[in-house]
Amino acid sequence: MALRDAKTWHIASEWYFRGWTPLGHQWAWHQAKQMNTTVLGGVAVGKTSMAAASYTTDCLSVPYFHALNCSVTATQAELPFHMLMNWIEENDHLEHLIQDITLRPFPIITFQNFSTYSFRTAGQRARFIRGSEYDRINYDEGPLDDDPETITVLRGRLRGKRPDGTQRMARLDVTGTPTDAEWLRERFDRGWQDAPVEKRQLSRYLSFRLPTYLNTHLTAEQMALMEAEYSDEQVDVEMRALFPDYGMSMFPSGHLRACTDRDLNDQGYLALHPESGSVTRGWVMEEHPRFGMLKWEMPFDPKGIYIIAGDPGTDGPPKRNAATVGILEVSKKPYTLVYFDWVNGKGSYFPFLDSFKYGIEKYRPSIRGMDATGTQKAINELAFESIGIHVDGINFQRDKEAMLNALSVSVTSHEMRWPFIKGLRNQMGAYTREKDRDKHLPQDIVMLLAQLAFLARYAPEDNDEAIRPPQPSYWNRGQRTAGWDRRRRT
């Protein structure tokens, strides 16, 4: 019943996976005859469970089947693994069919019939996947990758024969929420019945658009609550699975791609998931399955010149009033984002202040920017009085446009680089100065980067100040400061 030819996957999945049965679109995807599928799905439509059940069924029913779930981040790649562990443990229908489960350097499930199911990050241009052969690969949240070379490399891993002499399946699946990646739209059109005739290749490609509303396990109230968290544009992308329209964005996607350095993600991954030896100290990568990177830290360099900025808030990601803290290393261009914390305030400003203080203690920044105007003035005073940190007051209300201009110049000149951060990509890609749209868009990360780009112009020329223990500010704390132009870098 697990074999595709029987067309009874729904019965087999109920037996093996604790009563889980596929919805109609999930069944159709599993049974697809095309060896290239593209699934654009809304949140909570069931992409992860669909992939986990479909790939495991192949491993169970085909000896020596090699399956891989890879993604742009390790956390996303391992989501189906954690779902499978809940299905496997103390399951009399499945547990005895598992030979071994390893966790390091990345999770691998080995079945009694010598099939394997692996879960790992792909790395930049699939650098971690080269040299292996697979029957089937799912590029989970692949739409977040702008580089078409990754798909080319993954396709090259789908080849050869199994040890018993049978041909490998050679199926490449791409699943995720739609983005404006050019290769994604081209791939989707090849398998989309309504695409222009000249773009379609329906014998080899099959595409699905799966809005959240297809998940009949969700109630109308649950979907309404999800919609309430998004702007109209976000509802179209995150729930209706429509391609985003960022035509009015202040930051063109091509320049954002140029500033996104996925090699930083790979460095962090290798430091935290070494194949041998111990973890390299100083690195932190904390990710949320839906929202992406929440915290990013690189090791401190005594020779570096650092500046810090923060946007206070009391909510948590991805809400509009979430707090952010960031640190930029500015000794040479492109400047590098070495610390990023998308803070969950839980209704308080203290998590933000604690993160700000931690960043100061680790990186010893020479400039510590915090808004000292309007409602933020109290936060500035709280920072000094409650946790004893000295900050350099900036006038965000007065200089917002100058800060955004500084960020625009930095981005279009490729003077900044950051790791792949899903929230950063989404907010920067959608940001516009149109007032009617600006007030509804989450923009805390945009404002953080704008502050850093603005402050970078006033950073010291050498690292003497940067490596001293924190000193009282050389500007008046929390006050409008004269003399900035005298410090401006040429």
Judge if 66 and 207 occupy the same domain: yes
Task: Give the tokens for residue 345.
Answer: 């305030």
Judge if 234 and 292 occupy the same domain: no
C-alpha dihedral sign at 272, 291, 35, 263: negative
Judge if 217 and 98 occupy the same domain: yes
How confident is the model over 221-232, as a mean pLDDT? 87
> How much is the pLDDT for 247?
64
Helices H / strands E in the chain, number of each: 18, 16
Q: Which residue has the higher pLDDT, 386 or 370?
A: 370
**How many domains, in total, are found in the chain?**
2
In tens, the pLDDT along 159-175 reads 999 999 999 999 999 99
Q: How far is CA 146 from CA 39, 88, 483, in A?
A: 16, 35, 43
Residue 374 banded pLDDT, cuts 50, 70, 90: low
CATH of the domain at 30: 3.40.50.300
Q: How far apart are CA 456 and CA 230, in angstroms?
A: 32
Q: Phi and psi at residue 331, in whole multiples of 5°? A: -70, -25
Q: How far is CA 404 from CA 313, 433, 440, in A?
A: 19, 9, 17
Asked if residue 439 has pLDDT above 60, the reply is: no
> How much is the pLDDT for 396?
77
**Residue 453 belongs to some domain of the structure:** yes
Of 206, 239, 272, the last residue of a domain is 239
Of 185, 213, 239, the last residue of a domain is 239
**Residue 456 belongs to some domain of the structure:** yes
How confident is the model over 136-144, as a mean pLDDT? 96
How confident is the model over 281-306, as a mean pLDDT? 94
Judge if 223 and 260 occupy the same domain: no
Residue 487 banded pLDDT, cuts 50, 70, 90: very low
CA angle 481-482-484, nearest 5°?
90
Of 186, 212, 239, the last residue of a domain is 239
Q: How far apart are CA 57 and CA 13, in angstroms?
A: 8
Structure pTM?
Answer: 0.84
Q: Write down the mean pLDDT value for the chain.
A: 88
**Residue 115 belongs to some domain of the structure:** yes
Q: How far apart are CA 28 and CA 192, in angstroms?
A: 14
CB contact burial 16-44 (16+ within 10 A = b; e otherwise): bbeebebbebbbebbebebbbbbbbbbbb
Q: In what order do the strands lie in the sheet with 108-111?
A: 98-102, 108-111, 116-121, 66-71, 136-140, 171-176, 36-41, 205-210
Q: Can you give the residue range of the structural domain that contains 335?
A: 253-487
**Residue 247 belongs to some domain of the structure:** no
In tens, the pLDDT along 448-459 reads 999 999 999 888
**Residue 390 belongs to some domain of the structure:** yes
Judge if 370 and 224 occupy the same domain: no
Judge if 41 and 157 occupy the same domain: yes
Percentage of residues in the chain having pLDDT higher than 90: 72
> How much is the pLDDT for 3?
95
